[in-house]
């Protein structure tokens, strides 16, 4: 029996300022299946629709037309509360600019998704410490984001993304703000997380080195998927 | 909510120090105003009420015209005969000039009294300021009055207030002249038989020097005993009526006695102190309402200021809010955090405002002018009022966070996280 896709997009369109003079077709009829355990890169020039695709797959946005199924559940008509619940339980986000909360320590940032799920304080603390250890930041638990290097911040962000055992990891230019050495460390961590958790990974990138780590490669242009190839 | 979450809220507030300080300061100023107004205003009224409630008499008979109660000695006897009446004391107040044997005169307010009745209608606090035996040589003022003939021998005794004794630089046993005019030749010579203290007034000790003379002697001196034509006047300004101690605490019984007095003198104004108490309470309610209204304006302005601060905070922290929403922090938790921060600001401002108000009142009591200092020292801090103020602030924090919460929950995540 074929496993249910983690995410399925059917003829998804996303139009901004629809019907107005400055209408933008960010996605134009994209159909896509992301299966469990896949490692997928999304490439393309600026404005090709990569981030819009990531927002829709990550349930941060809803399509103007088309269907999105999250593990078989249609989400395009779901309310914000239900989509928040699905994000909380199934999706981990890694952003180019890390987006750690500045007033929380590294430990508290990692524990935040667990707090959102109502995990007890002691267990939250134990799991967050373990995740920080996994990403090589044992001993930096009480550091605030401004006390960490860019590479360390991104590792905290990865630990945070893994906190809830997500089925899908979404990374938007995860190495965009890092030098090559730190970028390689972050990609190693991402790959290890993919291997160990079995979560599907979608990486949006301009960087061929980053894309090369993926097993499947999507190329987008003008809101359409123009190439979908396996390999790497 | 565990301790670490409070710590995070504290860090969030500290993260925007200037905004936090400004918001707390605005609320503190708005809170200090009602604290000062309500505490001082309440204190003044409490003092007024205590003065009325502690008076030795319960009913006052007054006439509209100057010295308008005629036949005072006879009327007092009639009132004394009413059921429930313990004593009735006529008072005649006249401005006179008091001259020492050598030296210039001093203006003073002299009160003509019937000593025994006067003592019986004073509060215990007032009695403690008077000599143990206040007779003025004729305790019931009957000898000189002599059934309205004013032909009896006068006692020629006077009691002066301590400040007046000091001003005249005399001691008991000395003689002074009491004159209805600035001319000492129009005066009568009386012997000073003692001194008495003055009760503190609302705005400090009475600015007038006071003396006590037998009623009939003062009436004779100022021409209010008998008219030049010989007809009996026997005038007084008011009659204070004390009810029996067993009735004094019963407003209905006091009202019944007042009605009986009113029936006796339908042409005079008869008021019970219960009525006066009610009137003071009504006045207090009106002025308190005014203070609350005035304070509400300040609190409303600080509420709007807080809304602006919180809206600005949401705008500045849109990424932090967006990332929380993206990783699945429920909307209610984001809302709760904003409400808690608003409440922390309002409560901090409230506590600072209460402390500031108390400090202002203390400073006024210590360093203000005598009048301001006296009023400030009467301030009463009602725990119920302060708690109500804090409860109002909690409500204000909740109201102030409504718009920011709405804004935070409607942040477009794709745009915020771009």
| The pLDDT value given to residue B252 | 86
pLDDT score for B204: 46
Domain residue limits at A14? 7-230
In a domain, A2, yes or no: no
Phi-psi region for residue B232, left (φ > 0), alpha (ψ -120 to 50) or beta?
beta
**What pLDDT, on a 0 to 100 scale, did the predictor assign at position B202?**
46
**Least confident span in A90-94, A120-124, B165-169:** B165-169
Please name the member of B2, B323, B417 whose beta carbon is closest to the beta carbon of A121.
B2
Question: At A192, which CATH number?
Answer: 3.40.50.300
Question: Between chains, do A108 and B8 touch, taking CB under 8 Å as contact?
Answer: yes
Total domains in chain A come to 1
Q: Answer whether A112 sits within 8 Å of B320, measured CB to CB.
A: no
pLDDT at B110: 93
Write out the two tokens for B283: 């006045």
User: pLDDT by residue for chain B (418 residues), tens digit each?
Assistant: 455 667 777 787 777 888 899 999 999 999 999 999 999 999 988 888 877 777 777 888 888 777 789 999 999 999 999 999 999 999 999 999 999 988 888 899 999 999 999 998 988 778 888 888 888 889 999 999 999 999 999 999 999 998 889 888 899 999 999 999 888 888 999 999 999 887 665 444 444 668 999 999 999 999 999 988 889 999 999 999 998 888 877 888 888 999 999 999 999 999 888 777 888 889 989 999 999 999 999 999 999 999 999 999 999 999 999 999 999 999 999 999 899 999 999 999 999 999 999 999 999 999 988 888 888 998 999 999 899 999 999 999 999 999 999 999 999 998 888 8
Is the CB of A24 inside 8 Å of chain B's CB atoms?
no
The predicted-structure confidence for A46-67, as pLDDT tens digits, reads as follows: 889 999 999 999 999 999 999 9
Convert the pLDDT of each residue in A146-192 to its tens digit: 999 988 999 999 999 999 889 999 999 888 888 888 888 888 988 98
**Which residues in chain B have Cβ-Cβ distances shorter than 8 Å to A55?**
413-414, 417
Residue A47 lies in a domain: yes
* Degrees, nearest 5: CA angle A197-A199-A203: 125
User: Considering the domain boundaries, does residue A146 fall inside one?
Assistant: yes
Q: Residue B203: what pLDDT?
A: 46
Flag whether A1 is in a domain.
Answer: no
Distance CA B297, CA B30 (A): 9
Considering only the beta carbons, identify the residue of B4, B326, B329 that sits closest to A93.
Answer: B326
- A87–B contact, CB cutoff 8 A: yes
Residues of A in contact with B418 (CB under 8 A): 51
Look at the block and give the residue holding tokens 């009413």. B82
Kindly report the nearest CA distance between residue A146 and chain B, in angstroms. 13
Q: How far is B304 from chain A (nearest CA, A)?
A: 26
Would you state the pLDDT for residue B199? Answer: 67
- pLDDT of B305 reads 93
The verdict on residue A76 lying in a domain is: yes
Residues of chain A with C-beta less than 8 angstroms from the C-beta of B329: 84, 88, 112-113, 115-116
Min Cα distance A172 → chain B (Å) is: 10
Of A103, A113, A161, the CB nearest to B12: A103
Q: What is the pLDDT of residue B14?
A: 79
Which positions in chain B touch A123 (Cβ < 8 Å)? none
Q: What is the DSSP letter of A222?
A: T
| Chain A positions in Cβ-Cβ contact with residue B328 (cut-off 8 Å) | 84-85, 87-89, 91, 113, 116-117, 164
A164 contacts B323? CB cut-off 8 A: no
């Amino acid at each position: 029996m074929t496993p249910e896709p983690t995410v399925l997009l059917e003829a998804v369109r996303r139009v901004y300022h629809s019907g107005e003079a400055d209408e933008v077709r960010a996605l134009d009829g994209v159909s896509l299946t992301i299966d469990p355990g896949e490692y997928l890169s999304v490439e393309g020039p600026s404005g090709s629709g990569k981030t819009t695709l990531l927002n829709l797959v990550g349930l941060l946005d809803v399509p103007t037309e088309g269907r999105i199924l999250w593990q078989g559940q249609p989400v395009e008509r779901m309310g914000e509360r239900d989509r928040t619940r699905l994000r909380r339980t199934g999706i981990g986000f890694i952003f180019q600019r890390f987006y750690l909360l500045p007033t929380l320590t590294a430990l508290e940032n990692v524990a935040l998704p667990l707090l959102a799920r109502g995990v007890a304080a002691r267990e939250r603390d134990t799991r967050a410490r373990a995740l920080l250890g996994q990403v090589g930041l044992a001993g930096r638990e009480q550091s605030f984001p401004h006390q960490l290097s860019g590479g360390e911040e991104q590792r905290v962000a990865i630990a945070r993304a893994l906190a809830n055992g997500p089925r899908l990891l979404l990374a938007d230019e995860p190495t965009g703000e890092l030098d090559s050495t730190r970028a390689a460390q972050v990609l190693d961590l991402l790959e290890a997380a993919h291997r160990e958790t079995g979560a599907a990974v979608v990486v949006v990138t301009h960087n061929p080195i980053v894309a090369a780590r993926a097993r499947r490669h999507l190329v987008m242009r003008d809101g359409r998927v123009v190439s979908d190839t396996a390999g790497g | 909510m565990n301790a670490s979450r409070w710590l995070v809220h504290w860090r969030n507030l500290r993260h925007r120090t200037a905004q936090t300080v400004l918001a707390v300061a605005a609320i503190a100023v708005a809170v200090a105003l009602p604290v000062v107004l309500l505490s001082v205003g309440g204190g003044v009224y409490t003092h007024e009420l205590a003065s009325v409630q502690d008076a030795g008499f319960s009913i006052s008979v007054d006439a509209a015209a100057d010295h308008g109660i005629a036949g005072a000695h006879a009327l007092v006897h009639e009132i004394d005969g009413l059921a429930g009446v313990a004593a009735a004391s006529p008072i005649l107040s006249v401005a006179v000039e008091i001259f020492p044997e050598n030296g210039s005169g001093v203006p003073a307010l002299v009160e003509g009294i019937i000593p025994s009745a006067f003592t019986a209608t004073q509060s215990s606090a007032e009695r403690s300021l008077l000599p143990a035996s206040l007779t003025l040589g004729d305790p019931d003022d009957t000898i000189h009055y002599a059934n309205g003939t004013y032909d009896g021998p006068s006692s020629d005794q006077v009691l002066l207030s301590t400040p007046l004794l000091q001003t005249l630089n005399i001691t008991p046993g000395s003689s002074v002249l009491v004159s209805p005019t600035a001319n000492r030749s129009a005066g009568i010579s009386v012997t000073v038989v003692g001194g008495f203290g003055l009760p503190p007034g609302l705005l400090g000790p009475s600015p007038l020097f006071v003396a006590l003379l037998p009623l009939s002697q003062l009436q004779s001196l100022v021409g209010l005993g008998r008219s030049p034509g010989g007809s009996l006047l026997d005038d007084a300004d008011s009659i204070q009526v004390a009810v029996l101690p067993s009735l004094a605490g019963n407003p209905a019984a006091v009202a019944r006695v007042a009605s009986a007095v009113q029936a006796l003198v339908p042409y005079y104004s008869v008021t019970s102190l219960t009525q006066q108490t009610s009137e003071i309470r009504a006045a207090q309610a009106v002025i308190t309402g005014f203070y609350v209204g005035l304070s509400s304006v300040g609190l409303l302005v600080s509420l709007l200021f807080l809304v602006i601060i919180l809206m600005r905070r949401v705008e500045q922290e849109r990424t932090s809010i967006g990332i929380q929403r993206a990783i699945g922090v429920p909307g209610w938790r984001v809302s709760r955090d904003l409400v808690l921060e608003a409440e922390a600001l309002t409560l901090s401002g409230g506590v600072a405002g209460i402390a500031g108000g108390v400090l202002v009142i203390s400073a006024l009591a210590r360093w203000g002018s005598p009048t301001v200092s006296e009023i400030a020292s009467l301030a009463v801090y009602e725990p119920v009022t302060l708690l109500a103020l804090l409860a109002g602030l909690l409500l204000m924090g909740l109201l102030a966070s409504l718009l920011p919460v709405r804004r935070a929950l409607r942040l477009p995540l794709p745009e915020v996280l771009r």
